[in-house]
């Protein structure tokens, strides 16, 4: 399905709590679902430590490789929140209070509650543009093609709605799936041939499923070309008609 016209992206999940296994990552799935719907392919995800040098290294590499980079995590008020500073290094910009981001927080908090930790959430690369946060008001931001988002899933999800207005849609990636009551190995050969005949137009994936009542194989077809996708589905349904889950 990949070609030069594809709009591509990568996601960087920042946080020791994910790498220690303490917190399962929910943000990849939320961002990936939204991006695929927008027609933006997610080509790679990296989960990295709360370490400035690491963050700088990965952002620099991925921003040149893909159309978009999305980071989550590390923009809160505490000492382990260092993403905004790292992005300043990436773009060689000063790491300063952003006037508008500061204003939003100043308006929201009583003067006596607007402490240094809260002020820190307005520090970012000096030419950053804001991504509104309708939930807790500390804004995300972007510089060029790098979009910096929070790690808390509830806040991230609220901000995806805002980001959706900022980033233009591409051609939607359509997807059809088809559940078969069979083992993957039983259909592997035939499926390989079908994939061959739709090479670079439809991506066909095969995934075993297990639930209490039945086990089987989900065939997932993905394409930007609706006509070819429907054609592929027709062939899959015909080839495996005796295995289709009722």
Q: How far is the CB of 208 from a copy of itself (least distance, A)?
A: 6
Contact residues for a copy of itself, defined by CB under 8 A = 13, 16-26, 28-36, 41-50, 54, 76-80, 115-118, 120-121, 152, 154, 173, 175, 183-189, 191-192, 195, 203-208, 210, 220, 222
Q: How far apart are CA 245 and CA 49, in angstroms?
A: 43
Q: How far is the CB of 72 from a copy of itself (least distance, A)?
A: 13
Nearest alpha-carbon partner for 206 in 189, 220, 193, 187: 220
Q: How far apart are CA 131 and CA 101, in angstroms?
A: 10
Tell me whether residue 39 or residue 129 sits nearer to a copy of itself (CB atom). Answer: 39
Tell me whether residue 132 or residue 153 sits nearer to a copy of itself (CB atom). Answer: 153
Concatenate the DSSP letters of all residues of 212-246 into one string: SS-EEEEEEEEES-HHHHHHHHHHHHHHTGGGB--
Q: How far is the CB of 127 from a copy of itself (least distance, A)?
A: 25
Q: How far is the CB of 47 from a copy of itself (least distance, A)?
A: 4
Residue 73 near residue 16 (C-beta atoms within 8 A): no
Tell me whether residue 1 or residue 230 sits nearer to a copy of itself (CB atom). Answer: 1
């Amino acid at each position: 399905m990949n070609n030069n016209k594809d709009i591509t992206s990568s996601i960087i999940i920042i946080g020791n709590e994910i790498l220690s296994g303490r917190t399962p990552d929910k943000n990849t799935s939320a961002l990936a679902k939204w991006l695929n719907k927008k027609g933006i392919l997610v080509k790679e995800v990296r989960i990295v430590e709360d370490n400035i040098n690491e963050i700088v290294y990965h952002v620099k590499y991925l921003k040149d490789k893909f159309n978009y980079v999305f980071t989550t995590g590390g923009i809160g008020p505490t000492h382990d929140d260092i993403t905004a500073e790292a992005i300043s290094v990436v773009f060689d910009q000063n790491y300063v209070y952003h006037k508008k981001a500061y204003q939003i927080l100043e308006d929201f908090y009583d003067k006596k509650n607007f402490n240094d930790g809260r002020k820190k959430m307005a520090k970012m690369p000096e030419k950053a543009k804001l991504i509104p946060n309708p939930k807790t008001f500390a804004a995300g931001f972007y510089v060029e093609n790098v979009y910096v988002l929070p790690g808390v899933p509830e806040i991230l999800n609220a901000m995806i709605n805002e980001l959706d207005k900022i980033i233009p849609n591409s051609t939607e990636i359509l997807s059809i799936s088809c559940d078969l009551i069979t083992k993957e190995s039983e259909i592997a050969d035939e499926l390989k041939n079908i994939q061959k005949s739709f090479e670079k137009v439809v991506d066909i994936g095969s995934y075993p499923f297990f639930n209490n009542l039945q086990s089987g194989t989900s065939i997932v077809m993905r394409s930007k070309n609706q006509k070819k996708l429907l054609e592929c589905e027709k062939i899959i349904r015909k080839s495996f008609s005796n295995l289709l889950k009722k």
